[in-house]
A = this chain, B = another copy of it.
Amino acid sequence: MSICILSIGSELLEGSVIDSNSAFIANNLTRFGANVGLIRMVKDNKDEIVHLFQKYSQKYDIILTTGGLGPTFDDITAECLAESAGLSLELNEKAYNHMASRLNKAGVIIRQEHKHQSMLPSSCILFNNNVGTALGFSIKLNKAHIICMPGVPLEMKDMFLKEVLPFVSKTLNLKEKAYIDLHFLSIPESDVDVFIRSLKIEDNVQCIINAGNAQVVVKLRGDNKEKVEEYALKIEKAFPENFIGRGDILPSEYLVRLLKSSGKTITCAESCTGGMLSSLITDVSGASSVFYGSVVSYDNSIKENVLKVPQEILNTYGAVSEECAYAMAEGVRNLMKTDYGISITGIAGPTGGTEEKPVGLVYIGVTDGENTKVYRNIFNGSRQQVRTRSANKAMQILIDYIKNKQ
């Protein structure tokens, strides 16, 4: 049950494109308990590709390729596959019709080069492409099924999940593993670690803890669904204040859900993050029912005139201060007439820091109109990192604030 992934394209060896396809494929196969033994980038070189098809087909059960299915001269995957198996290349009618119909719809005139794309090894199996013009195809060579997919990630992902993964899973008799990700906010990784150690998890369940972006993610894997579920429930219930959900949930999605369920609305006053927090929240479809809007108050004149931060505060304490974060949160809440207001003011760098107020110093304020709190943070990293960490931390502070009020 060993699988090999070949990413085909000279641009990969020149480093002008990062190969994200292989990780996507490998990640999905690993969920099904398959063993990916090799991931390799291959140039658009006929001799090399033919050689690798012949060599690896004696070793692996499945060879998955991405790239080289297009209409241009350097798209040679089909040709190489036919040659490696001693098959002829033929115009595949089904592949041609699929391509022609998509090109017609897009108003593109079909040229000779397009035909090249539909020349496939005789007697190959086809895989549908709902997103693009090139169908996937497969033949059996030695012990391997060699399956060729497009390189465009959107096309490849759709084809892989809908067509190729079921085929591979059936061929290798794979069974999806139990696979649960638990997301926690506002808790140290070590607290979760100590609890999980105390569970003495059995060997047939794997457990990994990842921390990052203000989240702790516990990943549980195993063949026994009941067992994995049992551990997941125990871990969730150990930290009810911090657990935000399973799967790929983002803090912003959890925040929107939390606000919806409590019927509350929010607004933000952003300085150093310059709109990033608002942008993260409005990434969530349906945010409009809880997020009214925000003010990016980059210049002090905006803090003063729009958010009504008293000039005295700006003069005495400066824009990056506890007092200013306090006034910004209250000011934006009053302006937008929402239940909660949140503010961020800090120094993202790389310039603008002083001994007293270094780069990375960020104040985050939150208010419900009665109870206003301000948190002082020092974030490390580049300008981009300070901004991202500030926005993530603000989301976390807001979630905690709302939960504590419930």
Contact = CB atoms under 8 A, between A and B. Distances in A.
A24 B14 CA distance: 9
A295 interface: yes
A301 B292 CA distance: 8
Among A18, A26, A298, A336, the one with the most B-chain Cβ atoms within 10 Å of its Cβ is A298
Given A283-B383, A387-B283, A17 B12 contact: no
Interface stretch (A32-40, A76-84, A225-233, A398-406): A32-40
Given A19-B22, A268-B296, 5 more contacts: A275-B279, A276-B279, A282-B296, A288-B298, A293-B299
How many chain A residues sit at the interface, stated as a range, is 35 or more
A1 interface: no
B15 A36 contact: yes
A152 to B, nearest CB: 13
Contact of A38 (B14, B40, B281): B40
B279 A274 contact: yes
Interface string A258-284: 000000000010101111111101110
B283 A293 contact: no
A278 B293 contact: no
Contact of A337 (B40, B278, B301): B301
Interface in A2-45: 12-20, 22-30, 36-41, 43
The count of identical subunits is 2
A198 interface: no
Contacts of A384: 283
B23 A27 contact: no
B18 A12 contact: no
A2 to B, nearest CB: 11
Contact of A36 (B14, B17, B351, B383): B14
A384 B30 CA distance: 28
A335 interface: yes
A296 B298 contact: no
A279 B298 CA distance: 11
B37 A40 contact: no
Contact of A293 (B39, B291, B296): B296
Interface of A: 12-20, 22-30, 36-41, 43, 268, 270, 272-279, 281-283, 285-288, 291-299, 301-302, 305-306, 335-337, 349-351, 383-384, 387
Contacts of A38: 13, 40-41
Contact of A37 (B13, B276, B285, B387): B13
A10 B121 CA distance: 34
Nearest to A48: B37
A26 B20 contact: no
B25 A15 contact: yes
A151 to B, nearest CB: 14
A282 B298 contact: yes
Contacts of A18: 18-20, 23
A351 B29 contact: no
A39 B37 contact: no
Contacts of A28: 15
A282 B292 contact: no
Contacts of A274: 275, 278-279, 281-283, 287, 291
A293 B293 contact: no
A242 B12 CA distance: 30
Contacts of A301: 292, 336-337
A22 B281 CA distance: 33
